[in-house]
Every structure is written in C-alpha cells, then in structure tokens.
Structure 1
Amino acid sequence: MSNIIPNMRDLKPRREEDKPINIIKKCQMENRPVLIAGPMVRYSKLPFRQLLRNYNVDIVYSPMILAREFVRNKQARISDFTTNNDDRSLIVQLGVNNVTDLLRCVEMIHPYVDGIGLNCGCPIKEQVREGIGAALMNNKELVSQMVFAVKEKWGDKICIETKIRVHDDINETIEFVKMVEDAGVDFITVHGRTKNTRSSQPVNLDKIKKIKEIARVPIIANGDCFTIDDVSKIQNFTNCDGVMAVRGILNNPALFAGYEKCPWGAIEKFWDYSTSYGLQFKLIQHHLSCMMEGLIKRKLHIELNECSDLISLLEWFDNNFELKRPGDKGFGLGVSVPIRENRSNLANL
C-alpha cells in the first residue's frame, strides 16, 4: 500500500478510538456535541488541520478529493493527500459519482484515514455538471448504492458519512436520509441550505431539527457556526449530535476553544506548520489573510494581500509584528496582535 500513496511508510495503523462514529459515541456519553472542522476545497490541507488540533477540534476533514483523479493519477495522489501520525481523527471527503471509482479510491486511501465522507452538498457548478457534490441530492438511489457497496465490502472496518444539503421540500430530504440509513451510513452531516441558497441567507435550523427528529443515525448540523456561542445555539435548537464549522473556522481556527477572534498564537503556529510541512504560497497567504481579518486595519490587511512571495510575506510579518518562532519564549501562546511600535497606529484593537 505504501507504493500506492507515496511517503506513507512510517504511518502507524489507525486506531478504533479515532474512528469518527466512536468519537461521536464518546461525546454522547460526555453529554456534549462533537466538534467538527468541515472540508474546504484547497484549504483543509495538513498544516491547517494540524493547527486546528490545538484548539478542541474532535474531527477534521480533508479537502474534497476527486475519486477518479486520485485513482488514475499518481501526481494527484501526491498533491491531494498528505497526513501524519498526529492527523487524527481524519475524514477524507470524496467527490464521486459511481460505485467503481468509489471502491477503488477507498481501497487505496482507507488505511490512512479514520473515515470516508461522500460529498453530496458542494454547489460549485463545475462539480454539479460532473454529477458530483450537490447533484447527488437528486439521486438518492446512487448515493445509497455507493454507501451500500462500501459497507458490503468492508463493513464496520470503515466509517462512512454523507454530507448533504436540504431540499426545498423537507420531505425529499427525509426520504434521502432514510434511504442512505438503510444502506448502512454511519452518520449524516446536514447543511441547512439548498444548493441554490446563498451563503448570505441564514441557515435553516428548522429543517435540520426535523431531520434529527426522524433520523436513526447521528446527525451533524452544518452552517452559520462562527463562535462557540453558535455551537450551543445550534446544538440546543436542533438537538444534533455535533456541530460542524467551515467558514467560521477558516477565519478563526480557535473557534471551538472559545476565542472570539483568531489568537496571535494560532498565526505563529500556522507559520511553523505551513513552512515545516510545505504549502503553496498562495494558500499560506490566503489562510493568514483570513485569520488576520478583523485583527488589523484595512491598510495593513491590503499590504498582506499584496505580498508576492513567501519571503516578502515573512518579512512583512517581521517588520510589522513580533512574530515568534518555535523555541522562543511564549511561542504560540499570544492572544492579542503584537504590533511593532512603528506600526501601532494601524492596529485594529
């Protein structure tokens, strides 16, 4: 298997306690919702996942991986998926529209992850045209066939989830949920918007609540989780087994630890993880831009986004802030932004 996915030879076997369904059960016994960082295209890569594990996240998703490309293309496997022994509990989310590609991809990747997620919610037009993502919400029979095929081959050895959106008619969503439950799905994540609902419109918690009321498997609520107070509000209203944050955790990786905004220590840790593990400059810049949103004034934020390479970005941080490195006293512990004196007039505090 190490020849199928390069650079995985030193990984330890996955553990039963890291299987997502077992974590959900553990959280149920502790009378608390499971806290989940959802999949983000391009942005849920290993350095960011590693950062999140410092801040009370129970389960983290990979970015969506296209199953067909992963199976056929060695370069896709190298670029799309990396992990390490600390990257637990990890669900790999797959974009797939047929049983054959799904089984082949799961065969390759399942020894290196704790769960498999089927993306039935991505509304991006290119994905929908390919019959994946939100397109699957109109094909519950196919989704059920894919879930059943995985369970028939591996049984409880593999934890499988479906991430769905709601329909305009909630009864359609209920039928979808019942069918994938019958196929053997372990749990379901429900995003409370339809595929055509803008993210600027509030998530429909009433529909998520109705799904939870009829479901036989754990239900995770997704949508509009930006603070730890939102976690309580969503969980109390829907009675779901867990809450997933996506956009909120991109801006504030410490959301589940109760921080109102991204703490400075998280930025220092992300610099360390992203440069140690390797991450494309544009992704590093985007992550830092999101995390710094609301922490500094607009002029300084524009300067961050105008940096053209990694060296200039690091120099910009060093010129404007006290950016600690591993080994420095207090590394990764700061909360407020340590603006250098010559730039203090630009702090947004």
Structure 2
Amino acid sequence: MAEERTYLKPMTLFETKDLVTICAPMVRYSKLAFRSLVRKYGCDLCFTPMIISDSFIQSIRARHSDFTTSHSDRPLIVQFAASSGEDWAKAAQIVAPYCDGVDLNCGCPQRWAMAEGYGACLIHKPHLLADMVRLTRAELPQDFTVSVKIRLHKDVRRTVEMARQIEAAGASFLTVHGRTQDQRGGVPVNLEAIADIKAALTIPVVANGDIRSLDDAFRVKDITKVDGVMSAQGLLENPAMFSGATSTPLECVKEWVRTSLSLGTPFSTFHHHLIYMMEKSLCRAERRYFNGLGSTSGVLAYLSEKYTMEF
C-alpha cells in the first residue's frame, strides 16, 4: 500500500502562509500535467478546469473525461459550474475522496454559461448563491473546503453585501476576479474593490486578475491585504512564475515535456502550453514556424535542435 502523502490542506495554507499562491481554473489548460508542473515551481494550491455539474453527475464518461488526478496532485480544488445547490452538492460528494475542496464558478462571463444559469449570472442571484453554499457545505466534512469565485458588480457595494452573504452561508474562502462580467483583460483589475471585500470578511480572500509575476503578487497583497493570489495567463506564459522566475526557464520547458508525455497529454494541449511558454523567447519567424508544427515528433525535434535537449 502506498504511503499517505503529507501536504498542507487549503485552510492550513491560509493559516500558515503569508500569501497562498494558486493556479486558476482554466478550460483545457489547468489539467493534471500542468498542475504537476506548476507545483514544482512554488504554486501552493491548484484548481481543476471548470466542470459542468449536471453532466458530471449523470455520465461516468464525463467524469473520466473531465476529472483526472493522481496521488501527488494535492492540495486540489475541483471547480464546478452549477445552477442548483443539489447538483453542486452531489458533484462535490463524488469528487470529495480525491480532492480537498470544491469551488463554485460565479465568474465565467461567456454567454453560453450564463444562458444555462452558470457562471457570472449567479452574482445577480445572491440568495440562490447563498443557498447553494449552505446546502453543499452541509453535505461535506468540515475540513473539506467549499468556496466561491466571483466577479464584481458595477456597484461594488452590492458585491460586498453578496460576499457577506456567501461567508454567512458557510463558505471557506472567496476568490474575487477584480473585473465586472462585461470587462475583459484590457481593463485593469479593481484592486480597491478587492480591498473593500477583504476588509468586510473574516474568511480568507483571494485576488484574481493581472497577476503576471511574483512582484505583481506581492504588490496586490500589499494593496488589498488578501490572503492569496490566483493566476491564469501569467502561469501559462511562465509556469515558474511563483518561484520568482521572470520568464520560463529552459528546465521548466524540459520538465513540461517530460511530465506531459509521461501522462499521455493530447498533442494540442502539449503544443499549446509550449507556445505560451516560449512566446517571449522566440523571434517572430521562429514563433510562426514552431506554432505551425503538427506532431509531437516535430516539436521534440525542434526543441532538440534549438536547445540541445535530450528526450
């Protein structure tokens, strides 16, 4: 029998670390291989990509497709899209033996998600959201976290009040993406709003948005007083970001190749991660050539020739 792996659970991380570093839930990207990579470079806590709760409950095939983990993939939080507390609670109970917490996506601004009652539309239904947290919290052990990831209302006072309702319903912590549902990456995050939410709550608060370096992480911490920071784009471009690296180290690229190939990562995902990691180290012509490669063997040959990597 394998020995039980020792690691810090999410709430222990918040209690013991000045700043918890977190890999965001990213569709297609924050899967097992990438989570394994960023954990090697200072990432304390990882989220799965968002999983649709009702199909996850109904289909074993969906479970096998959407959720893959390993003995060393901890601490881990599984994020769900749900429109009812019953669905979220049932999905949470299925994954509970294999992770350390579940999160409810209330930030996805895509139209399809909101049309189905998922994502950012839930921030306009604070009573339903609180009920969903309350129901799911009641079905799970106390050391298992139940959290929520939100965006801002245009009137930040509404967000502060909603955050208080989420806390009162039993949420373990709250992640705040510092933009409204209509704002995209070109708009700076509203750090003042995140600071107001943090000041209003007693549970840990995580800031999300515009975290592209370790310096950004500590700058946001200083301004908002949050307990953790969550990065998506920054980690895609530099998976070693939380270790203090200012660009993706060559060893990190090698580690991605080893890890992803050993786990059977599909070529498109394997290649796309490398495109993100290597964008700043290649000139335009090199990027065009590398981005157009169509096979694992072609990618390995390119890396071997350019960087004298051995695989």
TM-score band w.r.t. shorter chain: over 0.9
Offset, 1:12: 7.0
Partner letter of residue 23 of structure 1? L
Report the equivalent of 1:198: 184
Offset, 1:137: 0.9
Confirm or deny: 8 A CA contact 1:209 1:239 kept in the other structure. Answer: yes
Partner letter of residue 316 of structure 1? Y
Describe the superposition over 1:238-292 as per-residue Cα deviations: whole angstroms up to 9, x where unpaired: 0111111111011000111111111111110000111100111111111000000
Q: Measure, in 1, the Cα distance between the counterparts of 2:265 and 2:276.
A: 16
**Partner-residue secondary structure (3-state), 1:291:** helix
CA RMSD of aligned residues (A): 1.5
Report the equivalent of 1:82: 68
Instruction: Give the one of 265, 268, 275 matched to 2:254.
Output: 268
Confirm or deny: 8 A CA contact 1:11 1:85 kept in the other structure. Answer: no
1:283 aligns to 2:283 (yes or no): no
Confirm or deny: 8 A CA contact 1:38 1:246 kept in the other structure. Answer: yes
Describe the superposition over 1:119-149 as per-residue Cα deviations: whole angstroms up to 9, x where unpaired: 1101111111111111111111121111111
Offset, 1:323: 1.5
Offset, 1:312: 1.9
Q: Which has the larger radius of gyration?
A: 1
Alignment map for 1:233-272 (pairs within 5 Å):
233-272=219-258
TM-score of the pair, normalised by structure 1:
0.86
Describe the superposition over 1:178-219 as per-residue Cα deviations: whole angstroms up to 9, x where unpaired: 111110000000110001012111111010011111112111
Partner letter of residue 255 of structure 1? M
Q: Measure, in 2, the Cα distance between the counterparts of 1:171 and 1:44.
A: 32
Partner letter of residue 165 of structure 1? R
Report the equivalent of 2:286: 300
Confirm or deny: 8 A CA contact 1:163 1:189 kept in the other structure. Answer: yes
Identical positions, percent: 36
Matched length: 311
1:186 aligns to 2:186 (yes or no): no
Sort the Cα spacing of 1:100 and 1:249 in 2 relative to 1 into closer, same or farther, 3 A.
same
Confirm or deny: 8 A CA contact 2:93 2:139 kept in the other structure. Answer: no
TM-score of the pair, normalised by structure 2:
0.96
Sort the Cα spacing of 1:271 and 1:233 in 2 relative to 1 into closer, same or farther, 3 A.
same
1:115 aligns to 2:95 (yes or no): no
Deviates more, 1:104-113 or 1:147-156: 147-156
Offset, 1:68: 1.0
Flag structure 2 segments of 5+ consecutive residues without an equivalent: none
